Amino acid sequence: MIESGGVWTLSEVRGGLVHQVSYELLAWGRDLADVLGTPLSAVLMGHGVAGQAEGLVAHGADQVYVVDSPELADFLPDSFARVLGDLVSRHRPEILIASATSTGRALMPLLFVDADTGLTADCTELSIETDERLLLQTRPAIGGNVMADIRTPLGRPQMCTVRPRSRRPLPEDRSRTGRIVEETPDVSSVMRLLEFLPEKKVGAPLQDAEVIVSGGRGMKGARNFAMLEELAALLGGSVGASRAAVDMNWAPYSSQVGLSGKSVTPKVYIACGISGAVQHLAGMSASDTVIAINTDPEAAIFRVADLGIVGDALEVVPALIGRLRS
């Protein structure tokens, strides 16, 4: 029997299915658990999700705590935090990591309020200082201009959220075996879901997109992002943006790529009029193929590009659209 403690990851359920970020977290957790020599556990909360616990084992979990209740069909932060807090207080993990999604950002601070420990948000790297079994949590600070290393030497569990798409899931291995633990804590809530309004966007959510067409200062105005939307639609992709474009209200914050936005790993990343600030490169340099369009042949974006086009994005992008349409 697997004992309490160890490294825990928080699984996420969307539309009744375990989401990709749950498997990414297991990749992070697997490395940490192996260094510490402890088991890796996943927490799975939702309604009608118990049958998906084996999939978490196949992606690296040694144990899955399952809380399956009709009252968890909708994500209500207070009830989820109460359930997770009960599990943590009884089983006492050393480390608990969640994804820096809207779910993780809403849930983990509520858990932190009642826990005598620390919480580090939006980490980009995690490692173990083996002498004292401390989790070294690295995250951007001061607007992404420096990287801060944070430790939690006194409280337990050591808690953090990590950026989605900052790790790839481990290969699925259905031959793995693990322990499934069904839990029945209090799941009451004072909240009620009134309505869900999905954000209007082109293509899949940015961190799930296989193709991303991003625009920067070189797009020279919000109206020119329409051509990026058209190109993304033709390629079956989504639209991203640099921080500069978001700061000038040319694109919504949800489309921002970089240390202060989202980390993405698409198959194809097309950077249009983006110079390549280090903060932006940190969020997209893990893309399989990078195509850069910029008027400056010395732009930093070309250092990570697989294909570089020296030219005005306002001329190159319409030409690409024309070729694709023909």
Same domain, 15 and 159: yes
pLDDT for 201: 61
How far apart are alpha carbons 104 and 235 in whole angstroms? Answer: 31
Q: Please report whether residue 135 resides in a domain.
A: yes
Where in the sequence is the domain holding 228, given as residue range(s)? Answer: 206-325
Helix (H) or strand (E) holding 238: strand 238-241
Same domain, 62 and 168: yes
Residue 171: pLDDT over 90: yes
What's the pLDDT tens digit per position in 108-146?
A: 999 988 888 899 998 889 999 988 999 999 987 765 567
The CATH number covering residue 284 comes to: 3.40.50.1220
Same domain, 167 and 219: no
Same domain, 80 and 219: no
Residue 151: pLDDT over 80: yes
Same domain, 241 and 305: yes
Same domain, 166 and 217: no
Residue 242, classed as helix, strand or coil, is coil
Same domain, 229 and 82: no
pLDDT for 167: 85
How far apart are alpha carbons 107 and 198 in whole angstroms? Answer: 20
Q: Are 213 and 324 in contact (CB under 8 A)?
A: no
Q: Are 211 and 229 in contact (CB under 8 A)?
A: no
Domain's final residue, options 182, 217, 235: 182
Same domain, 149 and 33: yes
The CATH number covering residue 52 comes to: 3.40.50.620
Residue 3: pLDDT over 60: no
Residues 6+ apart with CB under 8 A from 224: 215, 250, 314
Same domain, 172 and 255: no
Q: Which two tokens stand for residue 313?
A: 């994005």
- Bigger pLDDT: 209 or 215? 215
Residue 1: pLDDT over 50: no
Same domain, 166 and 104: yes
| Average pLDDT, integer, range 284-305 | 92
How far apart are alpha carbons 14 and 75 in whole angstroms? Answer: 9
Same domain, 277 and 165: no
The number of domains in the chain is 2
The Cα-based distances of 208 to 25, 58, 106, 212, 226 in angstroms read 15, 21, 20, 10, 21
Find where tokens 């930093």 sit.
Answer: 300
pLDDT for 154: 87
Q: Tell me which of 59-68, 112-121, 301-310 is least confident.
A: 112-121
